Chains A and B, each alone.
Chain A
Amino acid sequence: AQSVTQLGSHVSVSEGALVLLRCNYSSSVPPYLFWYVQYPNQGLQLLLKYTSAATLVKGINGFEAEFKKSETSFHLTKPSAHMSDAAEYFCAVSGAGGYQKVTFGTGTKLQVIP
């Protein structure tokens, strides 16, 4: 079984400041990990994914995440927040390999203050 815990349902940052969204996972098998972004009334867009290759994963829109097995974490970061980054972010986990069910975290709403 897998699960993810996202710490902080709401995060506020100033425009230009560092974005850090926290995600810890639990998995009985080697995991695949994902970050998705959702804008209001829209579906989910994949930001990045970890599939057991490089532990530092770079995604779209300047986001990156680092897989830390010792800490069971997969935190999402961006050096400088932009107003367009304001959205809901979901961390997700699945078992490694194809056709495994994906389990989503509860989401973190990012607010960017001008």
Chain B
Amino acid sequence: GAVVSQHPSWVICKSGTSVKIECRSLDFQATTMFWYRQFPKQSLMLMATSNEGSKATYEQGVEKDKFLINHASLTLSTLTVTSAHPEDSSFYICSARPRDRVTDTQYFGPGTRLTVL
């Protein structure tokens, strides 16, 4: 149980295009999902916290107009990188916290490798 999927697993796009990444909790409902990015050989940096039915909360320094987050249901959150540029190339990982858990167990997706040419 507690499986989180991401789609696509990798994507290559041209500079200036937009890319959408999906994060799904497959066997549980998640009122809260998190989006992280990870640069090579570095740790995970929290980008934003996504709550179902409300606006995402972005971390300091993360452009909310560039990284659009939608949490339309209890099992799906999407991250759209708008007008992507090469510096946006990174590994994007989502996680989801089950709605019925009071401890801080997050279940992570397998990640999406974004390469912007």
Contacts and interface: CB of A to CB of B under 8 A. Distances in A.
Top 9 closest pairs, chain A to chain B, by CB: A43-B108, A44-B108, A98-B102, A43-B110, A94-B104, A106-B43, A104-B43, A104-B44, A43-B111
B101 A90 contact: no
Nearest to A31: B104
Interface of A: 32, 34, 36, 41-46, 49, 51, 90, 94, 97-107
Contact of A42 (B34, B101, B102, B111): B111
A28 B23 CA distance: 32
A90 B105 CA distance: 15
Interface of B: 4, 6, 32, 34, 42-44, 46, 49, 91, 93, 95, 97, 101-111, 113
Contacts, number: 57
B35 to A, nearest CB: 12
Contacts of A107: 42-43
Contacts of A94: 104
